[in-house]
Amino acid sequence: MFASVHVTGSRRGRSLSGDQFSKDLLSLARYFSPRLEMVDARTVVLDVTGLRGMWGSPRAFGAAVQRKAIEQGIHCRVALAATRIAAVLSVYGRTDALTAIKPGREATTIATLPLDILTRVANFGLQRNAAIPLEVRNRNVSLMINIFKRWGLATLGDLAALPRDALFSRFGTEGVMWQKCACGEELQPLVPTPENRLFEVALDLEWPVEGFESLASGLRPMLESLVLQLSREGVAAAVLTVRLWLVTRVWYTRTLQLPAPICDSRMLCTLLVLDLKSHPPPAGIDRVVVTAIPAPTRITQFSLFEKAIPSIEQLSTLLARLKILMGSERCGAPVLSETHHPNAFDVGPFDPTMSSAIHLEVAEQTGPIAISRRFHLPLVAQVTVDCGCPVLVSASGGIGRRSVERCAGPWRSSGHWWEQTQSVDQELSTGYWSRDEWDVELDDGSVYCIYRDRTHGEWFVAGFLD
């Protein structure tokens, strides 16, 4: 059984901000159940399963919630149902102060509610995906509702009465999802909202510790206790902060931003030790304090049609070890730099869920798409020019000596002219460059990108088209 509580206002005309409403609502909800999920700033869902012996019937429980709300100076509507979505839709759509839906009567009770009410639950239980922005979800819901209205549907009951097979053939799983919502059927489990409290453990050492092995042996029981606290609240660690009280009587602090919420003590201990190895404290350690910022636990859904990727725990450990060996500035994924230099890039955090760190928007084409592959180091070339156009190219790297069948260009580019250039090799950085670029098709059918360095008058092969 689930109870949905929606705050409608304050008592005696008291003016409250949105944050204050949320605080009062959370205080009210946690008084009755520790398992709750925030829908929005004024609505919360409580899991009241097993509380019948304490509060009595569902209506008695709802009445107790309203009495407690009045004591706190707020007015609210309460709806109880066997599913979360039915309770939320009822508290949004019905004007009754207290609604108790009998199990099996969810679809009948919410059938008279208008279709527009679905826009209020677009971010709750239906498309819980942080990668999809809220405005995109709302836009998709509005588009779907407009289609339903053009069909002549006006209420949730009208949508629930449609044949599910026909709805799936037109809209796929999204159409079936909205019909299940209109029927009051549960789609996803409740994800408890973590309590905003500090998760922290501390350890006073008997003597100063300088070796990492001794520090790891002390961190393991600390992190086991910390993970136990997090698991009791149904959350995981998103950020870890370790503070070391040194023998020099100063604090040494390191903050570890985890790529995903982790609730594994062994994995957290490994990541902390690896981070401290790459950034060792300057003196011995007398006291260790570890603090965790919680986040909802990660739910992983595998697919039969997507390439498997390593778990986030394994990947985090691998990246931490690589940063120790190679340096943090050399481990990551390439990202575009704020410059027009063709060879410039930065290194950003590595995310295996992204197909590439550089996203290119490609228009729909009926034919094949050409891909430019650039050499890490440009190839030195000898180019014969006739009437300002290249006619013969000679270079290493399997190119040989080839005549030019067709060419396009030149495209002149330059930048960072205010910086001094020591040599041609400095063009690999974001220093000054000035060049004329050409695309040339050779007599063997291959297409290369060549350019002439206008500063030194030399020719290079930058890459080829695949």
Question: 239-296, pLDDT tens digit by residue?
Answer: 888 898 988 888 999 888 877 788 888 888 888 888 888 888 888 888 989 888 887 7
Whether the per-residue pLDDT at 53 is higher than 80: the answer is no
Query: Torsion angle, CA of 269/270/275/280, rounded to 10 degrees?
Result: 80
Whether the per-residue pLDDT at 297 is higher than 80: the answer is no
Map out the domains of the chain as residue ranges: 2-183, 199-296, 372-465
Residue 308, pLDDT score: 62
Strand locations in 53-133 (E): 74-81, 98-100
Residue 139, pLDDT score: 63
Task: Give the β-pairing of 285-296 and 235-246.
Answer: antiparallel
Per-residue pLDDT tens over the stretch 101-129: 888 888 888 999 988 888 877 666 454 44
Residue whose pair of structure tokens reads 């790459």 in the numeric block: 278
Q: What is the mean pLDDT of the chain?
A: 78
Q: How confident is the model at residue 370 (pLDDT cuts 50, 70, 90)?
A: low
Query: What DSSP line would sit under 323-382, residue for residue?
Result: HHHH-GGGSSEEEE-SS--TT-EEEE---TTSS-SS-------SS----EEEEEEEEEEE
Neighbours of 252 (CB within 10 A): 17
Whether the per-residue pLDDT at 423 is higher than 80: the answer is no
Cα angle for residues 87, 91, 97 (degrees, 5° grid): 120
Residue 157 or 321, more confident: 157
CA separation for the pair 326, 347 (Å, rounded): 13
Per-residue pLDDT tens over the stretch 206-239: 888 877 777 888 888 888 888 888 887 777 888 8
Q: Classify burial at 434, counting beta carbons within 10 Å of its beta carbon; exposed 0-12, middle 13-18, buried 19 or more.
A: middle
Closest alpha carbon to 343 in 259, 244, 460, 182: 460
CATH superfamily of 199-296: DNA polymerase, Y-family, little finger domain (3.30.1490.100)
| Averaged pLDDT, 75-100 | 87
Q: How confident is the model at residue 195 (pLDDT cuts 50, 70, 90)?
A: low
Q: At what angle do helices 18-32 and 58-71 cross, to 10 degrees?
A: 140
CA separation for the pair 356, 300 (Å, rounded): 21
Residue 175, pLDDT score: 83
CA separation for the pair 3, 49 (Å, rounded): 10
HSE toward the beta carbon, residue 13, CA cutoff 13 A: 0
CATH of domain 2-183: 3.30.70.270
Residue whose pair of structure tokens reads 């944050």 in the numeric block: 19
Task: Give the β-pairing of 98-100 and 74-81.
Answer: parallel
Residue 426, pLDDT score: 46
Please, are residues 397 and 464 in contact by the beta-carbon 8 Å criterion? no
Computed over its alpha carbons, how large is the radius of gyration of the chain?
Answer: 31
Please, are residues 342 and 416 in contact by the beta-carbon 8 Å criterion? no
Q: Classify burial at 360, counting beta carbons within 10 Å of its beta carbon; exposed 0-12, middle 13-18, buried 19 or more.
A: exposed
Range in 248-262, 358-372, 413-427, 443-457 with the lowest mean pLDDT: 358-372
CA separation for the pair 333, 42 (Å, rounded): 41
Pull the structure tokens for residue 158. Answer: 């009208």
Strands in 74-81's sheet, in edge-to-edge order, are 36-40, 43-47, 2-10, 74-81, 98-100
Please, are residues 288 and 205 in contact by the beta-carbon 8 Å criterion? yes
Whether the per-residue pLDDT at 388 is higher than 60: the answer is yes
pTM, two decimals, is 0.47
Range in 10-24, 90-104, 157-171, 176-190 with the lowest mean pLDDT: 10-24
Could you tell me the end-to-end alpha-carbon distance of the chain, in angstroms, rounded to an integer?
A: 60
Cα–Cα separations (whole angstroms), residue 379 to 209, 218, 257, 422, 458: 54, 54, 41, 19, 11
